[in-house]
Amino acid sequence: MTAPEIARIDPADSREFDAWWDAYAAARRDDMGENALIWSREEARAELQQASATMERRAYLARRDGVVVGSASLALPQKDNRHSASIGVTVPRAHRRGGVGSALLAHVEAAAADAGRRTLRAETSWPASATPDGAGAPGREFARRHGYDLALGDLQNRLRLPVAGEIIDELLAEAPAAGYTLRSWVGPVPEEFVAEWAALDALLDTEAPTGRLDIETASAEVDDFRADEALQGRQGRTSFGTIALAPDGRIAAYTQVVVSSEDGNAYQWGTLVRREHRGHRLGLRVKLENLRMLQRHSPEAPAIHTYNAESNEHMLAVNARLGFEVTGRLGELQKRLA
């Protein structure tokens, strides 16, 4: 069997990009079926075409005898975590076990090493019915063979909408947030809160459980945050945000849900409560307020999807109270280059 030919694509080339996305989406569906969470074609196109100051993104196609057999991606942080790279390798089931995945992985690993990165991060998903460590799942076993350790295990969760108003009211009564002021909005973060919101959002990856991940706090420049908000607009996404303000006027907690215009679903992004304000059920409160606003403004959204570290017992308990159900597992993987 001939070795696949691998080339970096130009995301502005519609034909090349569409082939890349088709391979990615097919592989995700092969692994997760109806529970596959897939960035839409246009959302992925907009991200790859973004001229970002914080992340360099590359995409690759593998062909064998002129037929597309797989795709890959490489993300290189530019302002923080410059020791690391995030990689993705996707091979549709029909083209597996023929050396395509290994060839793609070797190619992007070499590109990451050439960029001076020593820690490689990747993700793979498997069904909720499988074991927590993913033993036997195709993506997990492929990663294991190539030296990737499971650094953090996440649960993929779904909340079917709408949630009855009386259930929301009942839960709100359990989280009165006495002494805190709640603010909510649709769209970009108001100017008066953006600097503090961006700083909190940058803390999310290191304040939440990180397992054995080799990561550092992200940069929090407002201009970069606004650039990402502009990207969301080009992707057709709508953001719903809620904060709890402490008596001193600082943000004590925040949460964000983003609705995709492509599939209509809502996706839970960051939720964080400052350490000094924990123990007041603020995480539950801001999520409830945001949920109520979401259902008022996007009543057609069928569900909210989210990922949470399996070790994050507090947030999982909040989600359970809201009615989330587990639909899959996600392994955050890591490999250190010599």
54-111 pLDDT, tens digit per residue, is: 999 999 999 999 999 999 999 999 999 999 999 999 999 999 999 999 999 999 999 9
Last residue of a domain, one of 117, 143, 176: 117
Q: Please report whether residue 314 resides in a domain.
A: yes
State the pLDDT at residue 61.
98
Query: Are 164 and 271 members of one domain?
Result: yes
Is the same domain home to 322 and 175? yes
**What pLDDT was estimated at residue 22?**
98
- 254 token code pair: 């925040």
If one counts the domains in the chain, the total is: 2
Q: Do 193 and 303 belong together in one domain?
A: yes
248 and 316 housed in the same domain:
yes
Residue 330 confidence (pLDDT) above 80: yes
Query: SS3 of 165, please?
Result: helix
Q: What is the pLDDT of residue 204?
A: 87
Nearest to 255 by CA among 326, 189, 168: 189
Pair (190, 300) in one structural domain: yes
Residues 162 and 97 in one domain: no
Quick one: 222 and 310 in the same domain? yes
Predicted pLDDT of residue 81: 96
Cis? peptide before 299, omega within 30° of 0: no
- Average pLDDT of span 187-209: 93
Q: Which of 268, 233, 229, 215 is nearest to 77 (CA)?
A: 215
For residue 279, the enclosing domain spans: 158-331
pLDDT of residue 338: 77
Mean pLDDT score across all residues of the chain: 95
Domain membership of residue 36 (yes or no) is yes
**Domain shared by 299 and 218, yes or no:** yes
Query: Do 215 and 304 have their domain in common?
Result: yes
Q: In this structure, what CATH number is given to the domain that contains residue 84? A: 3.40.630.30
173 and 321: one domain? Answer: yes
Give how far Cα 159 sits from Cα of 71, 137, 263, 282, 301, Å.
Answer: 31, 25, 15, 20, 11
Last residue of a domain, one of 92, 117, 142: 117
DSSP-derived secondary structure for 206-243: HHS--TT----PPP--HHHHHHHHHHHHHTTEEEEEEE
Cα–Cα distance list, 108 to 74, 136, 189, 308 (Å) = 7, 24, 36, 27
Residue 338 belongs to some domain of the structure: no
For the segment 115-154, what is each residue's pLDDT rounded down to a tens digit? 999 999 999 999 999 999 999 999 999 999 999 999 999 9
Task: Enter the pTM of the model.
Answer: 0.94
By the 8 A CB rule, do 200 and 272 touch?
yes
Q: Name the amino acid, one letter, at 269.
A: W
Residue 125 lies in a domain: no
